[in-house]
Amino acid sequence: MGIFDFITGRKKPTPGELAKERLKVALVQDRMKVNPELLELIKSDLLTAISRRLDVDEQHVEIRLAREDHWDKLKAEVPIKRQKISFEWDPPAHTTAVTGLRGKVTVEVEKDDESEP
């Protein structure tokens, strides 16, 4: 961007620039769609990470790419299996200052029976 564009605010893009930007956005989505293997990999990485802490329903996990508010977003829906979730809070060694959080944490989830499948 030249100094003049800088003063006057953002310059209006040329049709060529516009085409390139639109193309880039379209390609991000195309590439994810034609590459389901990558999404599968991300999904399994996510599940490995999450299931260390939560008991999730792996059959109903959904992961997809969406474009919202000018951002490409990876959206994941990860249903939790059990109504009662308990997990170990285990801060790494270098955070010894936060002693208050060490120990076992249990979260009680109130279940609404009708909303369950």
Partner 1 sequence: MESRVITITSGKGGVGKTTTTANIGTALALQGKRVAVVDSDIGLRNLDAILGLENRIVYDLVDVVEGQCRLRQALIKDKRLPDLYLLPAAQTRDKNAVNSVQMEQLCQQLRAEFDFVLIDSPAGIEQGFRNAIVGADEIIIVANPEMASVRDADRIIGLVEAAGKPEPRLILNRLRAEMARRGDMMDVADVLEVLGVDLLGIVPEDEMIIVATNKGEPIVFEKRSRAGRAFLHAAQRIMGEEVPLDEVTEVPSLLERLRRLVGFGPALAEKRVRS
Residues in the chain: 117
Are the C-beta atoms of residues 70 and 44 closer than 8 Å to each other? no
For partner 1, the closer CB: 26 or 74: 26
Q: Residues in contact with partner 1, total (CB under 8 A)? A: 15
User: Is 100 near partner 1 (CB under 8 A)?
Assistant: no
- How many CB atoms sit inside 10 A of residue 35's CB? 11
3-state secondary structure (DSSP) of residue 82: coil
d(CA 36, CA 105): 37
* DSSP of 31-48: HHHT-HHHHHHHHHHHHH
**Residue 46 β-bridge partners:** none
For partner 1, the closer CB: 34 or 98: 34
Interaction residues for partner 1, span 30-69 (CB under 8 A)? 30-31, 34-35
Rule CB under 8 A: say whether 92 interacts with partner 1.
no
Question: Binding to partner 1 by residue 102, rule CB under 8 A?
Answer: no
Q: Of these, 7, 10, 14, 71, which contacts partner 1 (CB under 8 A)? A: 14
Binding footprint of partner 1 on the chain (CB under 8 A)? 14-17, 19-20, 22-24, 26-27, 30-31, 34-35
